[in-house]
Amino acid sequence: MGADGIGAAVRRKEDVRFLTGRGTYTDDISRHGQTHAYIVRSSQPHAAIKRIDTSKALAAPGVVAVFTGADMAADGVGGLPCGWLIKNKDGSPMKEPAHPPLVVDRVRHVGDQVAVVIAETKAQAKDAAELVEIDFEPLPAVVDSLDALKAAAPQVHGDAAPGNLCYDWELGDKAAVDAAFAKAHKVAKIDLFNNRLIPNAMEPRAATGDYDPASGDYTLYTTSQNPHVIRLLMGAFVLHIPESKLRVYAPDVGGGFGSKIYHYAEEAIVTWAAGKLKRPVRWTADRSESFMSDAHGRDHHSHAELALDKDGKFLALRVATVANMGAYLSTFASCIPTYLYATLLAGVYTTPAIYAEVKAVFTNTVPVDAYRGAGRPEATFLIERLVDIAAKEMGMDRVEIRRRNFIPTDAFPYQTPVALQYDSGDYFSTLEQAQKTADWTGFEARRAEAKKRGKLRGIGVSTYLEACGIAPSNIAGALGARAGLYEAATVRVHPTGSVTILTGSHSHGQGHETTFAQVVAETLGIGIDQIDVVHGDTNKIPFGMGTYGSRSLAVGGTAIVKALDKVVNKAKKIAAHLLEASVNDIEFKDGKFTVVGTDKSKTFGEIALTAYVPHNYPLEELEPGLEENAFYDPKNFTFPGGCHIAEVEIDPDTGVTKVVNFTAVDDVGRVINPMIVEGQVQGGVAQGIGQALLENCVYDKSGQLITGSYMDYAMPRADDLPSIGVATHVTLCTHNPLGVKGCGEVGAIGSPPAVINAVVDALKDHGVTHMDMPASPQKVWSVINGARRMAAE
């Protein structure tokens, strides 16, 4: 390993610009002659639009244009597409109601886009937006997905989705599961609601459309995790712009967590409007708009049952889930509660039979899509809560029942009953390491000490598994994916030996500019200061799928490795020529090409120069230059896993729960930069603790969003969180050359059940067996108070 190669905790290359205010986020970009857009949004949860009068707004100072859905429809603008087709149990396709960028005659959630006002300044646009008159005819609204399935429920899409049902899907062997339940010794059951969350990347979404009338070229600057996906969806399906005429540039992006994967209405609106007005059109969300227009996450109602034999072995798992899609299908909404959820229900256990059915439902709420973890946190929370309940039913220790059902470390590759084949893992080691770090055996003494101080202390464990780098494309395609799932990279070696990497992955906090450079440094034996990583601009980078699902290193990193292999192979041929040796005798190590067994060598820089100044060069056999591309389509998912242990203390007088200790031991495969991995896990855990104790998106019955700002939506702050202890225990991924698995989401996946299991443990003397998230002070106090009252009566 070089000083900054694989495994080194290298300081990040991107940090200096962020620390000195020289980052370039979308809203930092000003275009000459730009206008400012403000979106007029629905104040109504569900209403027919009788009339829109834009005349007063048009007459307001500085206003350039006001457009409505009718204007976009007249131009043939298409609806926002969904990227994954799910089939019903009977094989019929899911319902895909139209999702126009600006609505035409009906709004379906508070925040739905009704019109756009474009003016010389943002303040003028906002002032004029108040003058757009909309006659709403309010319609009854439905918020909760279970309510939406009821016979008399308001219909969000009428005949386009009867009964508000998007799809009714299943996975697994129902007959085998039924048979296993019939002979079960005990059955553990749970009903739970996985709370709805609002992602809240700190940078609000922004988009600027630009159009060059001379060339006919469009440019969209946008806060995206995957600019090529946006170019494809918006160009092909919404605005019908050839991809050669459309550049999508996602510069520095201030956090995504899934919420910036999707193609949003505003991107299409500003691009289309820029073409109409022949001027740049700039839009940036106010945070209040983010709350009502960024795709939300989670929102599952589930009932699950686990059949056990007399030894506590899991015989079968049965799960029924209702997933809230919100008012429209967001870009990848349909695959989250299916292929990223039900396929994960085996977890780390040998449960031989699993059957899951999932109903996806439309409601008058903001669309729901992937949020950090995307399906896997929902599966993990369900399993890990159910296993704790099973332990109680069986009178078994929570850790022992897990160990008894773990997939043995020598059983890989392991085929689950829900489609996935795990390649590697060692759940015993991560559990043992976490228990040791968390001093599991010393807990009862800490509980007793806390009791003396009047506090209720509990400890909870979660042993989890997740799946990253969704692939391969052909299998995903057979399951309904409407896009490829590969990644692309270009390695461009410059004449004097420095290197530019052009990657389809996108970094919005993950530190790719450093991690990817470390991979290159390790391979080429050059320093990371000689390596630059370019991402985000479709005019520069190869067609890539971007960053989501913790795929960047496993898929994007592998594409870089594949391209590097090609570079090294070609460089060896050049070296062989220069050194007058057979290419088979050339060894490349530490940045030097050496004829094996001799001291004859050439440096990487010398080879690079020769490639571009090919005076002494085998031009008949080899092209000049040193630049290679690779596309990599993985053979399988990767499967990170591990163990999280949370220790909480509850103040019974107020119900306040504090996480006092948190231990994460994760198997994320090979670690390229331990500093960055640790940061990724800590950030994920913070979001997991946020979900477990604080965060909750709330609508009132009428469909108004109650948690529409940080005044009401509880974001985790520094004093809400503990120090987060992170360690890794590595087993290598067997099917990518780096052996990497992914670390972006493990924190958010493993931690919520660990926290809630700890809360339930702390409250076990109060008759508590389950608590839905968030375990807010009020909720915890109500439980304690209820138990006290019962005891008093």
Partner 1 sequence: MPQVSMTVNGRPIKADVEGRTLLVQLLREKLGLTGTHVGCDTSQCGACVVHVDGKSAKSCTLLAAQLDGANITTIEGLAGADGKLHPMQEAFRDNHGLQCGFCTPGMVMSAVDLAKTNPNASEHEIREWLEGNICRCTGYHNIVKSIQAGAAAMQAAK
Partner 2 sequence: MYDFAYHKASSVADAAAKAKGNDDAKFMAGGQTLIPTLKQRLARPSDVIDLAAIADLKSIAAGGGAVTLGAMATHASVAASADVKKAIPALAALAEGIGDPQVRNRGTVGGSVANNDPAADYPAAVLGLGATIHTDQRQIAADDFFLSVFTTALNPGELITRISFPVPEKAAYVKFPSPASRYAMIGVFVAKTAKGARVVVTGAGNGVIRIKSMEAALDKAWSAASLDGIAVSASACNGDIHGSSEYRAHLISVMAKRAVAAAG
- Contact residues: partner 2, CB under 8 A: 123, 127, 653-655, 694, 696, 698, 706-707, 710-715, 717, 720, 776-778, 781-782, 785
675 binds, among partner 1, partner 2, none (CB under 5 to 8 A by kind): partner 1
Q: What is the dihedral of CA 524, 528, 531, 537, to 10 degrees?
A: 130
Task: Give the SS3 label for residue 643.
Answer: strand
Among 12, 196, 455, 577, binds partner 1 (CB under 8 A): 12
- Piece of 15-23, 89-97, 356-364, 729-737 that binds partner 1 (CB under 8 A): 15-23
682 binds, among partner 2, partner 1, none (CB under 5 to 8 A by kind): partner 1
| Amino acid (1-letter code) at residue 681 | V
721 binds, among partner 1, partner 2, none (CB under 5 to 8 A by kind): partner 1
**C-alpha–C-alpha distance, residues 482 and 543, integer Å:** 16
Please say which residue, 249 or 699, places its beta carbon nearer to partner 2.
699
Please say which residue, 20 or 616, places its beta carbon nearer to partner 1.
20
Cβ(715)–Cβ(695) under 8 Å?
Answer: yes
Around 645, how many Cα atoms within 13 Å sit in the side-chain half-sphere? Answer: 22
639 binds, among partner 1, partner 2, none (CB under 5 to 8 A by kind): none
Question: Does 257 help bind partner 1 (rule: CB under 8 A)?
Answer: yes
What single-letter DSSP state applies at residue 554?
A: I
Q: In what order do the strands lie in the sheet with 531-534?
A: 531-534, 499-503, 487-493, 627-632
Please say which residue, 191 or 653, places its beta carbon nearer to partner 2.
653
776 binds, among partner 1, partner 2, none (CB under 5 to 8 A by kind): partner 2
Asked if the peptide bond before residue 774 counts as cis, ω within 30 degrees of 0, the response is: yes
686 binds, among partner 2, partner 1, none (CB under 5 to 8 A by kind): partner 1
Among 5, 458, 640, 679, binds partner 1 (CB under 8 A): 679
- Piece of 212-220, 252-260, 614-622, 631-639 that binds partner 1 (CB under 8 A): 252-260
678 binds, among partner 2, partner 1, none (CB under 5 to 8 A by kind): partner 1
778 binds, among partner 1, partner 2, none (CB under 5 to 8 A by kind): partner 2
Around 296, how many Cα atoms within 13 Å sit in the side-chain half-sphere? Answer: 35
Around 566, how many Cα atoms within 13 Å sit in the side-chain half-sphere? Answer: 18
Cβ neighbour number for residue 421 with a 10 Å cutoff: 12
- Binding-site string for partner 1 from residue 184 to residue 213, where x marks contact by CB under 8 A and - marks none: ----------------xxxxx---------
Task: Give the SS3 label for residue 513.
Answer: helix
Question: Does 616 help bind partner 1 (rule: CB under 8 A)?
Answer: no
**C-alpha–C-alpha distance, residues 707 and 694, integer Å:** 12
Cβ(87)–Cβ(167) under 8 Å?
Answer: yes
Secondary structure E strands in 233-310: 246-249, 281-284, 297-308
Cβ(676)–Cβ(12) under 8 Å?
Answer: yes
Please say which residue, 719 or 793, places its beta carbon nearer to partner 1.
719
- Piece of 146-154, 247-255, 338-346, 621-629 that binds partner 1 (CB under 8 A): 247-255
Q: In what order do the strands lie in the sheet with 656-667?
A: 456-465, 641-651, 656-667, 725-728
Cβ(617)–Cβ(577) under 8 Å?
Answer: yes
| CA 425 from centroid of its chain's CA atoms | 22
Strand pairing class (281-284; 35-41) = parallel
Question: 390: closest CA among 401, 379, 405?
Answer: 401
714 binds, among partner 1, partner 2, none (CB under 5 to 8 A by kind): partner 2
Least gap, CB of 9 to partner 1 (angstroms): 8
608 binds, among partner 2, partner 1, none (CB under 5 to 8 A by kind): none
Beta bridge partners of 63: 119
Least gap, CB of 252 to partner 1 (angstroms): 7
Around 662, how many Cα atoms within 13 Å sit in the side-chain half-sphere? Answer: 28
Cβ neighbour number for residue 183 with a 10 Å cutoff: 10
Among 144, 168, 252, 393, binds partner 1 (CB under 8 A): 252
**C-alpha–C-alpha distance, residues 660 and 678, integer Å:** 19
Please say which residue, 287 or 303, places its beta carbon nearer to partner 1.
287
- Piece of 13-21, 42-50, 160-168, 377-385 that binds partner 1 (CB under 8 A): 13-21
Q: What is the dihedral of CA 374, 376, 381, 382, to 10 degrees?
A: 110
Among 21, 213, 395, 597, binds partner 1 (CB under 8 A): 21
Least gap, CB of 505 to partner 2 (angstroms): 34
422 binds, among partner 1, partner 2, none (CB under 5 to 8 A by kind): none
What single-letter DSSP state applies at residue 90?
A: T
171 exposed, middle or buried (CB, 10 Å; 0-12, 13-18, 19+)? Answer: buried
Please say which residue, 55 or 782, places its beta carbon nearer to partner 2.
782
Least gap, CB of 30 to partner 2 (angstroms): 22
278 binds, among partner 1, partner 2, none (CB under 5 to 8 A by kind): none
Please say which residue, 299 or 305, places its beta carbon nearer to partner 2.
299
Question: 304: closest CA among 318, 293, 315, 316?
Answer: 318
Among 1, 16, 596, 790, binds partner 1 (CB under 8 A): 16
Tokens standing for 714? 């509880």
- Piece of 104-112, 434-442, 504-512, 770-778 that binds partner 1 (CB under 8 A): 504-512
Question: Does 261 help bind partner 1 (rule: CB under 8 A)?
Answer: no
Count of chain residues binding partner 1 (CB under 8 A): 57
Question: 754: closest CA among 466, 468, 467, 458?
Answer: 458
Kindly identify the residues of this chain, within the stretch 694-713, that bind partner 1 according to CB under 8 A: 709-711
Least gap, CB of 782 to partner 2 (angstroms): 7
**C-alpha–C-alpha distance, residues 480 and 85, integer Å:** 5
CA distances 773 to 765, 766, 777, 778, Å, are: 20, 18, 11, 12
Kindly identify the residues of this chain, within the stretch 742-781, that bind partner 1 according to CB under 8 A: 747
Please say which residue, 197 or 360, places its beta carbon nearer to partner 1.
197
Please say which residue, 574 or 686, places its beta carbon nearer to partner 2.
686
Kindly identify the residues of this chain, within the stretch 286-325, that bind partner 1 according to CB under 8 A: 286-288
Task: Give the SS3 label for residue 106.
Answer: strand
Least gap, CB of 42 to partner 1 (angstroms): 19
Please say which residue, 254 or 544, places its beta carbon nearer to partner 1.
254
Question: 435: closest CA among 123, 173, 645?
Answer: 645
Question: 26: closest CA among 506, 616, 713, 636?
Answer: 506
Please say which residue, 194 or 226, places its beta carbon nearer to partner 2.
194
7 binds, among partner 1, partner 2, none (CB under 5 to 8 A by kind): none
Alpha helical stretches, state H, 183-304: 227-233, 265-277, 287-293
201 binds, among partner 2, partner 1, none (CB under 5 to 8 A by kind): partner 1
Backbone φ and ψ for 416, nearest 5 degrees, come out as -90, 165
Please say which residue, 127 or 649, places its beta carbon nearer to partner 2.
127
Binding residues (CB under 8 A) for partner 1: these are 11-12, 14-25, 27-28, 123, 200-204, 252-255, 257, 286-288, 508-511, 675-676, 678-680, 682-687, 709-711, 715-719, 721, 723-724, 747
